[in-house]
Structure 1
Amino acid sequence: MATTFRRGWRTKAEPVLLKCNDGGEYVVKGQQAGRQIVNDQITARIGFAIGAPVGEPKIVEVSAELIAIEPRLSHIPSGTAHATLFIPDCRDDCGLIATSEPENRSRFALLAVLYGWVYANDIQFIFKKNPPRLVYSVDHGHFFPGGPNWTERDLIQAPQAELNSYLCENCNFTPDEISSALRELESVSEATIIQAVAAPPSEWGLTLDERVTLVEYLTRQQQQLLTFL
């Protein structure tokens, strides 16, 4: 349950930073963001499953009472919202930096796998301000074929899965780095994929048929990527 407003960001989805009753602070997107929060939640969950550097996903409740006393939450409907644990002391950077940091090599390799698995659009990174400048991937609302407007047809007709070319070209991964990341993907069970797709609450508008198609899509993409082992 969200208890305290901390700050907001002036981006299209208008996320906010909220403190919750577990003591943690979370970057929260409300249901006004539409299908973006479905994409965000599922991508964060499967990214977390392979150990990729993404925010830890949660679903939080934003009460009507909190919205009533905090005008800066007026754009967020009451109810459940997508959230990821806030990662402090980071800088926003849309460019690819710190690829030479040894600690980031495996992190970027895992992201190359995650991005190829889900199908990445509008890639966004943040980096820790101090060395080692650890990379994190954030804001996955436009992932999946078709972005936030994807349909079942988009998923069914998606092209063959490939490792993310942008990261592969810029990071020049070794075969061992890619193999290690793919082994993490291989360890993800169908049950884990099902749990990730089941996570978005029904009020987010994801139908049963769409969930089934998502599971089939992610399972197919996983198997296609594993041919690179």
Structure 2
Amino acid sequence: MIDLESRQRLKNRPQMLFFDRVAPTGARPALGSASDGQDYWVKFAQNDQGSETVVNEVVASIVGDSIGAPVAPWAIVEVPLGLKQILDGRLIVPGPAFGSRVIHLAEENRMPQGIPHVLSDGNINRIPLMVAMWELCNALDIQAVFYNGDDRKIYSIDHGFWFGSYPYPWKLSEKSMFPQIDHVPMPSREIPDDCWKQAEIALEGLNDEVIGRAVEIVPKEWGHEESEIERLVEFAIGRKDNARNQLRRFRKEVGK
């Protein structure tokens, strides 16, 4: 059964009103404003990294949401036919697309020296949930933003290369070895035991109901079979023990 929040996502897709520019990155997302008053970085199914990347974005976000991980706000947005254009050499494609809401006053960080701002604005609770999400979805090219307007609150962004997609997009209909995570940043400060334990408990939010939620939300227009979407969520569910072990390892090691 699909939950109320998912029904709202399906019923009320924000309509893009205009686009300003295109980012010079692999998927070449476009920055624009939508009918809900928000700005979004919009990733299209037609991109040089493959349509798998937008499916990964949606499924990883749904998995993260199911356990309460700090995923950056997102939506399936609708690009009307009237916005079809070539902007900065990129074709703006009408139809549904993945929109990651712009968090103004935020700074991107790949955390090469570990996760900073651990003691800022609830991050001691948010970081363990993010660690769990990384493990569940086999995160690669891990990135986060820190919201400067709210004392450095952390959010996970850019999940296109998760589920074993890096360095080349994998075909969802084909077998994949799901290569292991190559780098998981450690928190730079000690996090209380209870925060790690609560993240373990939160893993129970990832269950079979999430499979149906993902199947409903991933736009059919992107051309992927339901079985492909199911496979991604089932993979994440199958990694719950890995996530528990990772949380326990971090709990022991952080602060030594």
- Into which bin does the TM-score normalised by the smaller protein fall? 0.7 to 0.9
3-state SS of the aligned residue for 2:212? helix
For residue 165 of structure 1, report the CA deviation from its aligned partner. Answer: 7.0
Determine the structure 2 residue equivalent to 1:177: 195
Determine the structure 2 residue equivalent to 1:47: 64
3-state SS of the aligned residue for 1:177? helix
Provide the C-alpha distance between the structure 2 equivalents of 1:140 and 1:206, rounded to a whole number of angstroms. 18
TM-score w.r.t. the length of structure 1 is: 0.83
Residues 92-146 of structure 1 deviation map (CA, whole Å, 9 limit, x = unaligned): 2222321243621111111100000111000011112246111111111001123
Corresponding position: 1:187 with 2:205: yes
Q: Name the aligned partner's letter for residue 25 of structure 2.
A: T
Determine the structure 2 residue equivalent to 1:4: 18
3-state SS of the aligned residue for 2:123? helix
Matches within 5 A, 1:78-97: 78-95=94-111, 96-97=115-116
| Same amino acid, percent of matched pairs | 28
Determine the structure 1 residue equivalent to 2:175: 153
Preserved contact between residue 121 and residue 142 of structure 1 (Cα < 8 Å)? yes
Provide the C-alpha distance between the structure 1 equivalents of 2:147 and 2:97, rounded to a whole number of angstroms. 26
Question: Which residue of 17, 21, 37 maps to 1:23?
Answer: 37
Q: Residues 79 and 223 of structure 1: is their aligned pair in 2 closer, same or farther, counting only changes over 3 Å? A: same
Q: Name the aligned partner's letter for residue 60 of structure 2.
A: T
Any gaps of 5 or more consecutive residues in structure 2?
1-14, 249-256
Preserved contact between residue 48 and residue 56 of structure 1 (Cα < 8 Å)? no
CA RMSD of aligned residues (A): 2.8
3-state SS of the aligned residue for 1:189? coil
Preserved contact between residue 32 and residue 76 of structure 1 (Cα < 8 Å)? no
Determine the structure 1 residue equivalent to 2:254: none
Provide the C-alpha distance between the structure 2 equivalents of 1:171 and 1:41, rounded to a whole number of angstroms. 31
Preserved contact between residue 93 and residue 124 of structure 1 (Cα < 8 Å)? yes
Matches within 5 A, 1:1-229: 1-33=15-47, 34-68=51-85, 71-72=87-88, 74-95=90-111, 96-101=115-120, 103-130=122-149, 132-147=151-166, 148-149=169-170, 151=172, 152-154=174-176, 157-158=177-178, 166-168=184-186, 170-222=188-240, 224-226=242-244
For residue 150 of structure 1, report the CA deviation from its aligned partner. Answer: 5.1
Q: Residues 67 and 171 of structure 1: is their aligned pair in 2 closer, same or farther, counting only changes over 3 Å? A: farther
Preserved contact between residue 135 and residue 242 of structure 2 (Cα < 8 Å)? no
Provide the C-alpha distance between the structure 2 equivalents of 1:97 and 1:168, rounded to a whole number of angstroms. 9
Structure with the bigger percentage of helix: 1
Q: Name the aligned partner's letter for residue 149 of structure 1.
A: W
Residues 163-208 of structure 1 deviation map (CA, whole Å, 9 limit, x = unaligned): x972446455443221111212212331123312442112323223
TM-score w.r.t. the length of structure 2 is: 0.76
Provide the C-alpha distance between the structure 1 equivalents of 2:96 and 2:127, rounded to a whole number of angstroms. 31
Residues 23-75 of structure 1 deviation map (CA, whole Å, 9 limit, x = unaligned): 2222210122321111111111221222211122211111231124x734842
